[in-house]
Structure 1
Amino acid sequence: MRRSLAPYEADEPLAASFRAKQLQAMLRLTPLSMLVNLFNAGFLAYRLADQSAWLWGWLLVLLFFAYQAMAAWYRAQRRSTRQTASRKAMRRAFRHALGLGALWGALPALLLSSVEVQDQQMLITISCGMICAGGFALVTVPAAAIAYVLVMTAGSMVGLLRTSLPGAEILFCLLVAYSLIVVASVQVMAKSYGSRLVAEADAAHKQQIVGLLLRDFEENSSDFLWELAPNGQLGHASSRLNRALQFDPQQDTAFSLVALIARTHLQQPARVPADAGHYLGQLQTALSTPLPFRDLLVPVVIGDALRWWALTAKPVWPGSSGAPGTPISQVTPGWRGVGADVTDRKHAEDAMHRLAHFDALTGLANRRHFQHRLQQLCGHDGSTPGSAALLCIDMDNFKRVNDAYGHANGDLLLKAVAQRMTSTIRGRDLVARLGGDEFAILLDGVTEVDEARCFATRLMQAIEQPCDLSGISFTPHTSMGIAFLPRDGQQPDEILHHADLALYEAKARGRRQAQFFCMAMDEKAQRRIALEDGLRQALAQRAMHLVYQPQISLRTHQITGVEALLRWSSPRFGNVSPAEFIPVAEEAGLIRDIGLWVLETACTAAHQLPAGLLVAVNLSACQFDDELLVDKILEVVARSGLPAERLELEITESVFLKDTEDVLTALHRLRAAGIRIALDDFGVGYSSLAYLRSFPFHKLKIDRSFVMAILQSAESQAIVRSVIDLASALHMETTAEGIETAEQAALLTQLACTTGQGYHFARPLPLEAATAFAATHLAPGA
């Protein structure tokens, strides 16, 4: 029982304070508990007094117990909170609970067998409720709670054993189970309450120790002490402070602490930070407000070195060591405090701040610092929103610099460009490196297009100067996107997004230029997102289709094959041009699945064409990122049953901008399997004769841009002739794309071009129409 009386381990006098808290917690519920007791007792007396005359005597005894409990509660309210309680007080609480439990337990024991069935049910219900309620109300004194529950339970069990109530055996078992649960719950909750008491006492003890240590530090600091009189003059101070400030108590009586610190700045003005006035102003404000302050930084020049002090102080009221006897507004306090030299800590914090807010490579502001400044301009810190021009800047083809000259030279280039940007902006502007080769500039107060365009031109001219990269001369170029705050956006993310859209437009238009944001760019971006979603749905639902454009022999005028071309009719956008949706598919990573679907559909459709005709299918450069591309192609060909020599894969020279060795390996595997390989759009883009030497293509396709101008431009005609002669020398066929007139076809025939393709012969046709066209343009006997 002693263990239940104290659900904790503590020695006196700590245990005495715990007992006081247990009793106080129990007494707080006493009025409510007694009210419940009296209400239930009155209800029972009203219902059962005519059946049991002694019930009125029972009620008087209960009133006596309630009076004792309320008297104890009243005494506790009248006197100050007791800090300790004796074991005797705990035993009184135990006896009171035991008597109350016995009093309530007597009711079912004596009455249950002599009352009517409905009253028996009422009595059992009240007994169960009183068992649970009393147990939890007394939980902070677990011995009292358990005694109350067990005595009441015993009385109820006796009553159930004496009654003939149907189902009494079940009620008896349930009563025992519920009582055990209440007892177990009381023990668990009491233990938890005891643990909380111990934890609170431990925390108070630790807080007391910390307070003692802090007071000891304030009184016996090894740094320095200082004291100010109510008039602000430096009074008592440690010798260390006097030496540092060169303070003479006889001659410097007119100097305040702030003035003495400011006087040290005159010794080495070059070493004083630009914001020294800000720190001194903070100190002056703190000394003019009668509130304690802690670790207030001030810069001090000692000798020829800049040091940083952290000052901590509290007000000292005249004539008292505590609070003033008159209103604060009418009393000027003195100050007593300590100071510590925190120069090393300040330098470490400055270094951490630089790492957090500035780019380590270029020294420019980083993305975090830039975002903070942008939020300030947008008024997110509570200030008035400002106006500015935001330039998002990206270096053109920077990856090639890293690949060709190494990352060390790439870093040299970034630092050189950063220095040129810094030298171009004004003092109130901000230039930041957002990451990689991405930069941003905030031109504070710039709102006019002409002013921003003038700056962008000047900036490009400054950047586009040769740089020495470890003995290599390289001239950097940039693209820029410009948006204005608040015209193009009033939120940081919005304005930055719009400047990025303008940058994207500058790159799309050929790079090395600046573009200003307009709403059409945002609409274009929204359309691109919508197209991507539509493409995903179209791919899942197989809602795209193929058309087939015949390829004609220029010598025999007979069909030699068809090129499979992808088409997409969107319910939302109508007929979308491949020139628009193919780049979206490539950027979204959908081109792999789309490309394989096109290949499988074309190979299956080829069986409906006359035997021997080629089927040409385009491969995107992005598909070569898939290491399993060749295996997937060969699997599609095998599954379709199409002879490999009837399939011609068209690639562009852009595939060689990736890993050339891997691309060539893939092409050789395809050629070895019997699949024909054609080089599409030859003569534009990244043409290199090295590709023709590295891989024996079956065919070169002459771009339509040369074919369209072949009759008007001698240069285009010369280029076409050269491509045809080159292909002939390398034993390759040639196909001219975009033939629209008979004159173009005749000239290409004269130049010995192998095949032609274009509206002059046939437009792209559905499979049935292409099959019918092929049947009428086959060689006799084919």
Structure 2
Amino acid sequence: MGLGSQKDDIGDLRQLQLAPLRGKGSLRLWMSVGMALVAAFTMVTRLPWTIAGGWLTAALLFSIWSYRSIAKLPLGEARLSGAIEFRHCNRHALYSALLWMPTFWLQGWTPGLDHVLSMWTISLLMMLTLAMVAHSVPMACALFIAPVSLSAAAALVRAGAPQLASVALVAGFLLCAFCVRFAQNYVRFRRAEEILHEKTETVSLLLREFEETSADWLWQTDSNRRLVHVSPRLAYALGAPADALEGMLLLQALSGDSWETGQFPKSLHDLAERMKRRESFSNLIVPVSIGGKPRWWELSASPRLDDQGKYLGFRGVGSDVTEQRASAEQIAKMARFDNLTGLPNRLHLNEDLGRALTHAIEAKARCALLMIDLDRFKAVNDTLGHPTGDKLLAQVAARLKSMMERGMSCGRLGGDEFAVVLQNVASADAAEELAHRIIAALSRPYVVDNHQLFVGASVGYAMGPHDGATVETLTRNADLALYKSKDKGGNVVAPYVASLHAQAEERRVMEQELRGALDRGEFELYYQPVVTAEDGTLNGFEALIRWTNQKLGNVSPGRFIPLAEDSRLIAPIGEWVLRTACAEAMRWPSNLKVAINVSAEQLTDPNFASVVVSALAQSGLPPQRLEIEVTESVFLRDGGGAAQLLDQLLALGIRLSLDDFGTGYSSLGYLRKTHFSTIKVDRTFVQGAAKGATESIAIIRAVVALADSLGMATTAEGAETELEVETIRTLGCSNIQGYYYGRPMPSDDVLALFRQPESRSSAAA
């Protein structure tokens, strides 16, 4: 393969040398004929005409034969190796030298230096002419020049002029060297020319292919920034014929109708300035008007310079990026706006808040951030499904957006949480007044898919820069205020106050301690008696958890139970309560039951039923002695799963009690679906009835009547005085629970109650 490549290179070299000879046959013929005639006329003055005529005839015949012979050769054909043609030219040069050599040998007939010099002059002209015509074939030149020079030198020596003979030899040598050197330079030049031509063709081909296959196009301007060499693709992109665009200012072609008004976008001014300063630019996005329609182009270009460094204009490439820009804008919008509601998202709101804070600090004004959280929204999602919840959120966003005025912006932070940024707010009262209006607007009923829905809203707000000089600080403080408003029960506006940090820190410490409380054995169960209303007979206890921490002391359940639910710790704590209470109840008389409060978070765990079964089996407690107490929130937090789990517990023989009946939402549907054994009347109604409040008395009577009709018992909570106990008995409640019969007590005190009769009997004996 290497030999083949070498042969190809040699063939190319021969063709480069032979190519200049093509078309010069007539010149060689007339040169040969003319020199032969001059030589013959010179010889005829000294030699017999027969000799001179014979040589002239031979010279003319050889010239004609050589012309015809070489004319038939395919000189410079790239598809041939050129070896035959090369040898043919060399042979003809040698034959021509042999023809001219006798002109010096014949000088013996007429000795004399002047005649030899005349023939040498003619031969020298012949050699020079051949060197000029056949300079690209140095071998042929050498085959002619060397013999002729040697013959001339020999004739000059014989004529008695050795110095001139030396001159003849040197002249022949220099001519041969000139031909070789000239041929080398010629070949190099042609090689470079061919390479440049190939590169030019390659570049042209690539450019044509680039314009034909790509969405980009080439453009070029002169030194006056006018378009030149307008390509068809550029003309198509500009929507005008190429000849109409030729010579037009680039800025005029790009600006369209705005060229007359002179109102150019900033990016076009930037383009003009860079071209004016002759600076290269890359990926410059400029607006373009094509037929009155706006488009976006991406341009890159560099200045063109000639060999002397003279500025010629710009050459570059461009492409239409309108679709890509639209996609990028859509992506940017998606990154800054909420897909569901169309409101600004957290990122966008943070930017608005940052600008509001900056302005407030510089102008010594105020701004505000309102954090909004919907109340009872999870119940909508759980009962009617997420599609309905999404439609509700869209209506909430529309109401919120309709309330926005100048200097206000609202957005969705995520889930059912929204926020409002207020610029230049006059005072905290103005922010609070807007918050109340927002709660009123969002609390109006909604109609979604033929469902009438009610949700409320809780709002917490912070004032900037007083409550926070940075976006992060102000957002954190407004969030603390929102948490405070939720903690108050919802539909409340809460401002940020410094004490909220202490509460948040207390909550953090409490959660940290709560996570290790089980392992440290810090929990203890207390038991409060439940008696029969008719005769005060003890029929069971309600298990109540207590927590004593080394750092925090005694922590009430009202503080740590909600925290346990939020931090997902209620499941292990609830399981400990269940197992401990069941084991403790086995130490009581067999007619007493134990009631355990179960959180809504526990009932969302599908393994809760198996935990109850395990606790009963491990302790040996009969299912009939276990009563599970739940609140109405259980059914609002879960879309049917809690009811199914409670049905499983009922199937095991476990008793169910509905706590805090009537204090929350309408519970009649739950009573119809789930067979509760007991309904517990909240202590607020008990206290109200004892004071003669007709509403409380009516509610208790209604609950008792409802329970009796459904075959359920009623337990009145919070009885603390004899009057309250008598009122409960009069109204017909089945059971009573409260301080009047006993406060919550530890397990040892409960066991002491059962040992008291035995101790008294022993003392009497």
Calculate the TM-score normalised by the size of structure 2: 0.62
Partner of 1:696, secondary structure, is coil
Instruction: Give the counterpart of 1:264 among 249, 252, 257.
Output: 257
How many Å apart are 1:490 and its aligned residue? 4.2
1:483 aligned onto 2:469: no
Instruction: Give the counterpart of 1:637 among 599, 616, 637.
Output: 616
| Unpaired stretches in structure 2, ≥5 consecutive residues | 7-198
Instruction: Give the counterpart of 1:227 among 208, 221, 228.
Output: 221
Q: Name the CA distance, whole Å, in 1 between partners of 2:684 and 2:204.
A: 84
Deviations 1:195-245 (A, max 9, x none): xxxxxxxxxxxxxx9xx9799769996735243647xx6464738579959
C-alpha change, 1:494 and 1:214, in structure 2 (3 Å) is farther
Deviations 1:156-178 (A, max 9, x none): xxxxxxxxxxxxxxxxxxxxxxx
1:277 aligned onto 2:265: yes
Equivalent residue, structure 2, for 1:307: 295
Partner of 1:603, secondary structure, is helix
Q: Name the CA distance, whole Å, in 2 between partners of 1:419 and 1:220.
A: 51
How many Å apart are 1:575 and its aligned residue? 1.1
C-alpha change, 1:417 and 1:607, in structure 2 (3 Å) is closer
Q: What's the % identity of the aligned pairs?
A: 37
Structure 1 segment 761-772 matched on structure 2, within 5 A? 761-772=741-752
Higher Rg? 2
C-alpha change, 1:461 and 1:243, in structure 2 (3 Å) is same
Q: Name the CA distance, whole Å, in 1 between partners of 2:235 and 2:367.
A: 47
C-alpha change, 1:303 and 1:384, in structure 2 (3 Å) is farther
AA aligned to 2:532 is S
AA aligned to 1:297 is I
Structure 1 segment 362-401 matched on structure 2, within 5 A? 362-371=341-350, 388-401=367-380
How many Å apart are 1:566 and its aligned residue? 0.7
Deviations 1:395-427 (A, max 9, x none): 333344445555555444433443444444356
Contact residue 312 and residue 338 of structure 1 kept, 8 A: yes
Q: Name the CA distance, whole Å, in 2 between partners of 1:219 and 1:388.
A: 60
Equivalent residue, structure 2, for 1:550: 529
Equivalent residue, structure 2, for 1:721: 701
How many Å apart are 1:455 and its aligned residue? 3.9
Q: Name the CA distance, whole Å, in 1 between partners of 2:657 and 2:301.
A: 84
C-alpha change, 1:404 and 1:640, in structure 2 (3 Å) is closer
C-alpha change, 1:603 and 1:235, in structure 2 (3 Å) is closer
How many Å apart are 1:372 and its aligned residue? 5.2
Instruction: Give the counterpart of 1:357 among 311, 330, 336.
Output: 336
AA aligned to 2:570 is I
How many Å apart are 1:545 and its aligned residue? 0.8
Q: Name the CA distance, whole Å, in 1 between partners of 2:475 and 2:455.
A: 24
Deviations 1:380-406 (A, max 9, x none): xxx999974333333333344445555
Equivalent residue, structure 1, for 2:145: none
Q: Name the CA distance, whole Å, in 1 between partners of 2:316 and 2:403.
A: 48
Q: Name the CA distance, whole Å, in 1 between partners of 2:241 and 2:388.
A: 55
Instruction: Give the counterpart of 2:324 among 325, 330, 345.
Output: 345
Equivalent residue, structure 1, for 2:72: none
Instruction: Give the counterpart of 1:453 among 423, 432, 444.
Output: 432
1:296 aligned onto 2:284: yes
Equivalent residue, structure 2, for 1:321: 309
Calculate the TM-score normalised by the size of structure 1: 0.61
Equivalent residue, structure 2, for 1:606: 585
How many Å apart are 1:590 and its aligned residue? 1.6
Partner of 1:772, secondary structure, is helix
AA aligned to 1:341 is D
AA aligned to 1:571 is Q
Contact residue 218 and residue 337 of structure 1 kept, 8 A: no
Instruction: Give the counterpart of 1:238 among 230, 239, 258.
Output: 230
Structure 1 segment 582-621 matched on structure 2, within 5 A? 582-621=561-600
How many Å apart are 1:682 and its aligned residue? 2.0
Partner of 1:483, secondary structure, is strand
Q: Name the CA distance, whole Å, in 1 between partners of 2:461 and 2:648.
A: 48
AA aligned to 2:563 is V
How many Å apart are 1:568 and its aligned residue? 0.7
AA aligned to 2:257 is T
C-alpha change, 1:457 and 1:671, in structure 2 (3 Å) is closer
Partner of 1:740, secondary structure, is coil
Q: Name the CA distance, whole Å, in 1 between partners of 2:240 and 2:408.
A: 41
AA aligned to 2:219 is L
Equivalences, count: 552
Partner of 2:689, secondary structure, is coil
How many Å apart are 1:774 and its aligned residue? 5.0
Q: Name the CA distance, whole Å, in 1 between partners of 2:208 and 2:403.
A: 52
AA aligned to 1:507 is K
How many Å apart are 1:302 and its aligned residue? 2.1
C-alpha change, 1:725 and 1:416, in structure 2 (3 Å) is closer
C-alpha change, 1:449 and 1:676, in structure 2 (3 Å) is same
How many Å apart are 1:264 and its aligned residue? 2.3
Instruction: Give the counterpart of 1:738 among 704, 715, 718.
Output: 718
Q: Name the CA distance, whole Å, in 1 between partners of 2:528 and 2:355.
A: 59
C-alpha change, 1:405 and 1:340, in structure 2 (3 Å) is same
C-alpha change, 1:662 and 1:434, in structure 2 (3 Å) is closer
Equivalent residue, structure 2, for 1:670: 649
